[in-house]
Amino acid sequence: MSDSNLFDKIVSHAKEYGFVFPSSDIYGGLAAVYDYGQNGVELRNNLRQFWYLSMTRLNQNIVGLDSSIFMHPRIWKASGHVDGFNDPMIDNKDSKKRYRADVLIEDHQEKIRQKIEKEIEKAAKRFGDTFDASMYRTTNPRVMEYQAKIDRMDQILKEGLESGNLNVIKDLIEKEGIVCPISGSKNWTEVRQFNLMYSTQMNALDGGDDALYLRPETAQGIFVNYLNVQKTGRMKLPFGIAQTGKAFRNEIVARQFIMRMKEFEQMEMQFFCKPGTELEWYNYWKEQRMRWHKALGIPKTKYRFHDHIKLAHYANAAVDIEFDFPFGFKEVEGIHSRTDFDLGRHEEFSGKKLRYFDPETNESFIPYVVETSIGLDRLFLLVLSNAFQEESVDGDTRTVLKLHPAIAPVKCAILPLVKKDGLPELAEKIYEDLRFDFNVFIEDKDSIGKRYRRMDAIGTPFCVTVDHDSLNDHMVTIRHRDTMQQERVSISALHDILNKETSMSSLLKSI
Ligand code: ATP
C-alpha cells in the first residue's frame, strides 16, 4: 500500500468510526477545522491527561494553569506576534493554490532524503552483514552529493528567513524546479509574508483600538501569570507551569487533515530556571520528552530530532521532535530555550517587575525559560497513524487500531454471546461493576465475530464474552486485541486485569 493510500485510509477510518469529523459536515465542512466524535474525544482526553499528569504529577516542581483565550492586546505586541508571526507564502499562478514556501522546500528535501535511504537499502542488500550504513553515508559519492544538496538548501532557507530577503527563497524554489503538487507547474508568484493571527473586537459597538486576538499559542498565558503562580505557589526556581488549551492560527495552507488546523489545541510547559542553567535544562527536557513519546509503545525509528536551522533571535537552542507520518517526517513537538525574552518583554510592555528574588544569593533577575510545546491534534494523528493496521485473518481483512491500552477510547467490551437465557443480564451486571473505573461498552447485536471486528477497529484492547457456562462457573472469555488470543478468566478477576493493563498510572510509571 502506498503511503498516500494509507493516509487516505486513516482519514476515512477516523470518520467512519467516530474519531474525527469535518466541522459543519452537513454544510459541506469548513476548511482546516475538525470535530472529534464519540471515540475521538475519549482518545484525545486520554492523550491530554497523559501529558498533563506526566508534567504535574511526575514533577514536584511543575504546576498547572488554565488561562483565557482572550488576553490584553498588548501581550501580542510584546511577544512579537503582531509584527513577526508570519509565514512566507507563495502562490502558484496556474492552480491558484497558496503554499508555505519553507514547507515546499522541506518537502522537496524529504524526497531527496528518501533517495538517500533507498541507496542505503540497496547497498545493505548488496553488502550483507558487513555493511556499515553510517560509513556509507559519509563515503558514498552519490549519497554525499544528495546530503550536500539538502544542507545547501537549509543554508539558503535560513539566510532568506533571517535576513527577510525572500527573493532567495523564490530563487531556490525555481532553481530546484519545485512544482505545484496540484497543477504540476513552476509558475510561481513572489514569496510574501502573511500574519497568522485572527482578530476580533472586545466591544461590539466600538471600532478601532479594542482589537483582540485569538491566542495563537498558549505560552503567553503562562508568561503573564508567571508571577501570580510563583508568588501564590511559593515556587522556587527551577519550576514549571503546564497548560493545555485551544490556539488559533490563520493557516493559509491547510493540508493533511488534523496536522495543520486553524483551531487546534496545544500542550505547553514553560520551565523557569536560573540564567546560565538553561542549556542543561534544555537537554534534560529534550531527552525527557522523547522518553514520554516512547512510553506510548511507538518504535523509536519513527522519531527523530530535527535541530532548527533558523533560531528565533531570542532563542539559544531549539529542536523539533519529528514523527514519520504516512506523508513523511514532520514536527510534532518543539523544545525551545527562549532565554529571558518573553518575561523581559512583558516587563517592558506592562511596566511590572517580573523578577525572581533568589534568597541564596540575594539577587533578583528575570528567569530564563525552556519550553516544551506539543500539538494535541498532531499527537492524535501520530498515534492513529502508528496504530492503524490491516491484517489478513482467515482469508479476511481485519482493521485494527493497536493503540496503547491506556489511551484506547474503550477499555473493554462486554459481549453476551446471545440475547437470551440470562446472558444479557449477567453482562449488564459485569458492566455495572466496571463502569466506575473504566470506559466499558456493552453490546448484544450481531455475531460475536462482527462485534470483535468493530472493537478492533476502534482499538478496544479487551473483549469479554459472556456465555452459558458463565452463568454456572462465573468465568468469561477474555480476548486480547493484538494477539486475538482468548482465555478463560473469573469474572471477579476482570477489574484487576483491566487495571493492570489499561490504567493511566501504569503508563505513567513506564516513562
Ligand atoms: P509548523 O512549523 O508545523 O507550523 P510551528 O513550529 O509553527 O509548527 P509551534 O509554534 O512550535 O509550531 O507550535 C507547537 C506545536 O503546536 C507544534 O509542534 C504542533 O504540534 C502544534 N501546531 C502548531 N500549529 C498547528 C496547527 N496549525 N494545527 C495543529 N497543530 C499545530
Of 390, 420, 454, which residue is a domain's last? Answer: 390
Q: Which residues line ligand 1 (CB under 6 A)?
A: 217, 249, 251, 260-261, 264, 266, 331-334, 373-375, 377-378
Task: Enter the pTM of the model.
Answer: 0.86
d(CA 16, CA 10): 10
380 and 245 share one domain: yes
d(CA 377, CA 250): 16
β-pair type (368-375, 263-273)? antiparallel
| Dihedrals phi, psi of 341, to nearest 5 degrees | -55, -55
pLDDT at residue 163 greater than cutoff 90: no
- Summarised one tens digit per residue, pLDDT across range 75-91 is 999 999 998 888 899 99
Ligand 1 pocket test, candidate residues 260, 293, 310, most atoms within 8 A of CB: 260
- Summarised one tens digit per residue, pLDDT across range 30-61 is 989 999 999 999 999 999 999 999 999 999 99
Burial profile 285-303: b = 16 or more Cβ within 10 angstroms, e = fewer: bbebbbebbebbbbeeebb
227 and 150 share one domain: no
Residue 78 lies in a domain: no
381 and 251 share one domain: yes
282 and 330 share one domain: yes
Expressed as residue numbers, the domain containing 111 is: 86-193
474-485 average pLDDT score: 97
172 and 230 share one domain: no
- Summarised one tens digit per residue, pLDDT across range 181-202 is 899 999 999 999 888 999 988 7
At position 240, the amino acid (one-letter code) is G
Residue 205 lies in a domain: no
How many C-alpha atoms does 152 have within 13 Å on its Cβ side? 12
Of 360, 390, 420, which residue is a domain's last? Answer: 390
d(CA 446, CA 424): 14
Residue 266 lies in a domain: yes
Local confidence band at 128 (pLDDT 50, 70, 90 cut-offs)? confident
The proportion of the chain whose per-residue pLDDT surpasses 70, expressed as a percent, equals 97
d(CA 467, CA 474): 10
* Cα→Cα distances 243→35, 220, 366, Å: 21, 11, 21
428 and 298 share one domain: no
Report the nearest-CA residue for atom 2 of ligand 1: 331
362 and 230 share one domain: yes
pLDDT at residue 205 greater than cutoff 60: no
Residue 409 lies in a domain: yes
Strands (E) in 443-502, as ranges, are: 462-466, 475-480, 486-490
Residue 310 lies in a domain: yes
Ligand 1 pocket test, candidate residues 218, 265, 293, 378, most atoms within 8 A of CB: 378
Q: Find the CATH number of the domain harbouring 244.
A: 3.30.930.10
Ligand 1 pocket test, candidate residues 20, 373, 374, most atoms within 8 A of CB: 373
d(CA 352, CA 346): 8
Residue 396 lies in a domain: no
354 and 248 share one domain: yes
Ligand 1: distance of its center to the CA of 249 in Å?
A: 9
d(CA 458, CA 173): 42
Residue 383 lies in a domain: yes
8 and 55 share one domain: yes
6 and 63 share one domain: yes
298 and 435 share one domain: no
Ligand 1: distance of its center to the CA of 408 in Å?
A: 24
| Dihedrals phi, psi of 342, to nearest 5 degrees | -65, -50
- Summarised one tens digit per residue, pLDDT across range 382-437 is 999 999 999 998 888 999 999 999 999 999 999 999 999 999 999 999 999 999 99
310: nearest Cα among 52, 88, 145, 14: 88
In the chain, the number of structural domains is 3
Residue 449 lies in a domain: yes
436 and 502 share one domain: yes
Q: Find the CATH number of the domain harbouring 142.
A: 3.30.40.230
Of 193, 227, 252, which residue is a domain's last? Answer: 193
Q: Find the CATH number of the domain harbouring 414.
A: 3.40.50.800
